[in-house]
Amino acid sequence: MIKLIDSSISGMKYYIENIPFKEAFAKIIPYNPNLSTEEWFNFLLDQGMNPLTEDTKLEWLQWRRKLNKPQIKNLLEDLQKDFSGPNVDIILFPLNKEHSTMNDLGGKNGCSFPKFILLFWHESVTNNHLQSLLIHEYHHVARIFHQSQDEQKITLIESMIMEGLAEWEVLSRLGENYQAPWTKLYADHVLEKWWYDVYREHFSIRGRIHHQLLLFGGRDGIPRWLGYQLGYYIVNKYFKHNQHGSAYSRLLISPSEFLTVMSESGKASKKK
């Protein structure tokens, strides 16, 4: 069973009932036992959770009023059937309007772990854009589940494919207008060159902690979101040459199978 956890319930305990933070958010704090309460709270803020201040009290209330949990639950249950996905807990948060994702990701963000998902969105996000977030993040946990991946052993190419395949699923269900902005940042020839010159030599790096630079970019000469878009480019190119299959069967395709469409492009780039 997919379980939804509404953080605004904890927020109301904190704001309205004056219950201390640790007690008000007791259901949420244990999800990452490797972090202290302060570290976990700071992580949530970094990902986009609206701060708990007097200035944001009304924003928490407004977000809570707009929250449609039955609609979210129904969509996630449909996705679980389509993906043959696992049971997970999904924690819902209002997004800080000052957070960078308001511009970079259209006012929404998510973090997926094998057993739970964190979802953040601003109240201004439309229903279809919220659906795109739900599809993308639940697709991640389904991919992790079917590929038997873990944080330490996952390769860079699998991290890239995971992002690209999730956005391809958004494309197939909602259309390109609801895809993440990073799917359209760079031209194909730019992506091909980066693949041959850099990523082709590093795609077997293991451990998600070691993927940050090549996935997100934005420093050391790597363009922002390059690894994400390159992952989408590979997936999209693959499905231009191969049958799409079902949502479930697509989750089973290995990274090496996706890479078959890049072997010829590498040779072409080398000749130029």
Question: CB-based contacts of 252: which residues, under 8 Å, 6+ apart?
Answer: 146, 147
pLDDT surpasses 60 at 272? no
Distances (CA, A) of 40 to 22, 28, 100, 248: 11, 9, 19, 33
pLDDT of residue 264: 58
pLDDT in tens, 191-233: 999 999 999 999 988 978 899 899 999 899 999 999 999 999 9
Confidence of residue 267 (pLDDT cuts 50, 70, 90): very low
Render pLDDT for 144-197 as a digit per residue (tens, 0 to 9).
999 988 888 899 999 999 999 999 999 999 999 999 999 999 999 999 999 999
Q: Is 74 or 267 the better-scoring residue by pLDDT?
A: 74
226, amino acid identity:
L
* 118 contacts 93 by C-beta, under 8 angstroms: yes
71 in Cβ contact with 102 (< 8 Å): no
Name, in order, each residue with C-beta under 8 angstroms of 111's C-beta and a sequence gap of 6 or more: 47, 117, 118, 137
Q: How far apart are alpha carbons 58 and 25 in whole angstroms?
A: 18
Tell me which of 209 and 124 has the higher pLDDT: 124
* Lowest model confidence (mean pLDDT) among 29-43, 72-86, 112-126, 256-270: 256-270
DSSP state, residue 73 = H
- Tokens 């909602």 locate to 174
N-to-C CA span, the chain: 53
Confidence category of residue 268, pLDDT binned at 50, 70, 90: very low
Per-chain mean pLDDT for the chain = 92
pLDDT more than 70, % of the chain: 97
